[in-house]
Amino acid sequence: MTVKLKRVYDQPARSDGKRILVDRVWPRGLTKEEAHIDLWLKDVAPSTELRKWFGHDPARWPEFRARYRAELRHNQPQLSLLRQALEKGPATLVYGAKDEQHNQAVVLQELLSR
């Protein structure tokens, strides 16, 4: 299963397939129509506490990845929903973070690509 990633603010494309938002909060400044989201799995995103602790600080990235993976191990129902959605054809995980290398979608991609 190939899992693509894309910022929700980038232009949607047909090649995205199903667009799955994996953020806990809705992206600022976008309407639902503009975002072209097919599925919003906010409960697969990092907890509010973890998200605030991380603050998109690249220095905290290794610890964030470990903590988020631990959260996901205890969140199998949401992870199963995500896997089911990805099995139905091309799909892209979309996220709001500016940093394209240090965000929860990257962790999910790593996990799902195994």
Instruction: For the chain, 114 residues long, give each residue's pLDDT as a single digit of tens.
Output: 678 999 999 999 999 999 999 999 999 999 988 999 999 999 999 999 999 999 999 999 999 999 999 999 999 999 999 999 999 889 999 999 999 999 999 999 999 987
N residues, the chain: 114
* Residue 54 CA from chain centroid, whole number: 15
Supply the pLDDT for residue 1.
Answer: 65
- Report which secondary-structure segment, H or E, holds 76: helix 76-87
Prediction pTM value: 0.93
101 bridge partner residues: none
| Contact indicator for 27, 12 with CB cutoff of 8 Å | no
Strands (DSSP E) found in the chain: 4-7, 18-21, 39-40, 91-95
Which token pair is 24?
Answer: 């806990």
